[in-house]
Amino acid sequence: MQKVLIANRGEIALRVIRACRKAWLSTVAVYSEPDANSPHIWAADEAVCIGPAPPLRSYLNSDAILHVAKASGCDAIHPGYGFLAENAAFATACEDNGVTFIGPSAASIHTMGDKAEARRAAMRLGVPVVPGSEDSFTDAAAAADAVREVGFPVLLKARAGGGGRGMRVVEDAASFEGLFQQATAEAAAAFGDGGVYLERYFSKVRHIEVQVLGDGKGNAVHLWERDCSTQRRHQKLVEEALSPVLDDATRKEICDAAVMLTRGIDYRGAGTVEFLYDPADKGFYFIEMNTRIQVEHPVTEMLTGVDLVGEQLRIADGQGLPFDAPPPPVGHTIEFRINAEDPVQGFAPSPGRIERWRPPSGAGIRLDSHVYPGYQVPTFYDSLLGKLIVQGEDRADALAKARIVLSRFTVEGVKTTIPFHLDLLDDPEFQAGNIHTGWVEARAKDRAA
């Protein structure tokens, strides 16, 4: 590879450009009209406007992106996360046009992107799965028949995507049809595919994800797990590693299962195998695989010292895995997503102009962001301003350091999630690690009562 087009925006576009520079690769940035003053444009060697604000006419416009790649002499495309990152048709189009897709094969994306197929693959390879439907549905009546076998409460999940979109919890048969229609409509709008499948819903479990690398030839390795249980409406708010609730034996089991799945599908590049974990009986269940770099990948990078985006580039260039066993984890690492949202108003979006931006810095602190004073937070895309990652000697040290660091993080002009994180750090249950995936919402209800 010589020249890479970054088919994304914001902090992940900057992150990929930095990795490309380190690997002596030229870069081409693409941007929509409202992103004309985004730093990833200035950081790249070249930049091309690909359309107006709506993602379908810019960052999801695969034809335009491929045209720019070929016209500018790019021999590879890095999709980042979101947008086209898990689009099997786009991966195929890249290969058909002689452009390397920096990610897994289209076959892996298709298998893992279809949640029902992913379940079947996991079951075939002996990886435990959440009880659920074997197929996905677009028809409420057909799904209602299947839910009788799965049982209530049931979780509806989009077949073709993630990030909480197209996801609904259904407590009983009376509310099933209405929530099913909501889920399919949201999934169709977000991913162009209204299919959903059914999973048994567990109310008090942890969300554990294992970072993996594969070479596409049946070799794979894990880089430990991240605990992503601090969520709101299935959207991650805080991620940390290692998980505070796994013992060494369970950690080995869950990481081995992730590697087994990765090897079994000849996976290429960086990916994340996600599980539900029940602390009550130490049972874990595969739920999905994200066939891309994750938003929270810096947690693992700080924990292990491995440049995951750099490894994506190496593997896509035909090089092998960098090691046979994961590097030993160092300390404890925790990431806080800094979003332009107002926690007091139900996390309502808070677009606008950043009047003041003074992030903290120092040893054990990392900030991945594209924001600067005067930056205009757009209304067209996600509200992520940056990711603050803090590393400590252990979890208690990381939490204590995070409290100091967040209190020194000054943002003016828009509302952010910083006050929420500070409040979280003062909560005894969070400090003790005594949470679950529904804990944030249950806590909010208790406070409102």
CATH of the domain at 183: 3.30.1490.20
Residue 105, pLDDT > 80, answer yes
Q: Which of 140, 166, 200 corresponds to the end of one domain? A: 200
Q: Specify whether 180 is located in the same domain as 317.
A: no
Average pLDDT rounded to a whole number, residues 9-32: 98
Q: Give the residue from 200, 225, 260 where a domain finishes.
A: 200
Q: Is 172 found in the same domain as 222?
A: no
What pLDDT is stored for residue 32 in this prediction?
Answer: 97
Spell out the alpha helix ranges (H) of 269-307.
297-304
pLDDT at 434 over 70: yes
Q: Which of 79, 148, 440 is nearest to 291 (CA)?
A: 79
Question: For residue 123, is it within any domain?
Answer: no
- Token pair of 294, please? 């994750």
Q: Kindly report the pTM of this predicted structure.
A: 0.89
Q: Is 73 a domain residue? A: yes
What total of structural domains would you count in the chain?
Answer: 3
Instruction: Report residue 326 CA to chain centroid gap.
Output: 21
226 in a domain, yes or no?
yes
Show the tokens assigned to 99. Answer: 């452009």
| Burial (CB count within 10 angstroms: exposed 0-12, middle 13-18, buried 19+), residue 372 | exposed
Specify the CATH number for the domain of residue 350.
3.30.470.20
Question: Does residue 83 fall inside a structural domain?
Answer: yes
pLDDT at 214: 98
Instruction: Give 391-409 pLDDT, tens digit per residue.
Output: 999 999 999 999 999 999 9
Residue finishing a domain among 164, 185, 200: 200
Same domain, 371 and 438: yes
Exposure on the CB side of residue 30, measured as CA atoms within 13 A: 32
Mean of pLDDT over the chain: 95
Whether residues 387 and 238 fall in one domain: yes
Query: Are 97 and 34 in the same domain?
Result: yes
Residues 310, 367 within the same domain = yes
Confirm whether 162 is domain-assigned: yes
Q: What are phi and psi of 228, to 5 degrees?
A: -120, 40
Of residues 151 and 122, more confidence is placed in 122
Whether residues 194 and 264 share a domain: the answer is no
Percent of the chain with pLDDT strictly greater than 90? 85
> Domain of 77: which CATH number?
3.40.50.20
Enclosing domain of residue 17: 3-102
Mind listing the pLDDT tens digit for each residue in 34-71? Answer: 999 999 999 999 999 999 999 999 999 999 999 999 99
Residue among 268, 292, 314, 337 flagged as catalytic: 292
Same domain, 96 and 214: no
Residue 324 lies in a domain: yes
Q: Which of 202-206, 333-337, 394-398 bottoms out in mean pLDDT, i.e. has the lowest?
A: 202-206
Instruction: Locate the DSSP E strands across 146-303.
Output: 154-158, 168-170, 196-200, 206-215, 220-232, 235-241, 268-278, 283-290
| 399 and 437 inside one domain | yes
Whether 347 and 312 map to the same domain: the answer is: yes
Does the pLDDT value for residue 326 go beyond 70?
yes
pLDDT tens digit string along 232-273?
988 999 999 999 999 999 999 999 999 999 999 999 999 999
Length of the chain: 449
In a domain? residue 165: yes
Q: Averaged over 175-191, what is the pLDDT? A: 91
Under the banding of pLDDT at 50, 70 and 90, the label for residue 160 is: confident
pLDDT confidence of residue 163 = 67
Res. 148 pLDDT band, cuts 50 70 90: confident
Contact 436, 418 (CB under 8 A): no
Are 159 and 69 part of one and the same domain? no
115: in domain: no
Residues 87 and 168 in one domain: no
Instruction: Give dist(CA 205, CA 27) in Å, integer.
Output: 42
292 given a catalytic annotation? yes
Report pLDDT for 133. 84
Instruction: Check whether 359 has a pLDDT greater than 90.
Output: yes
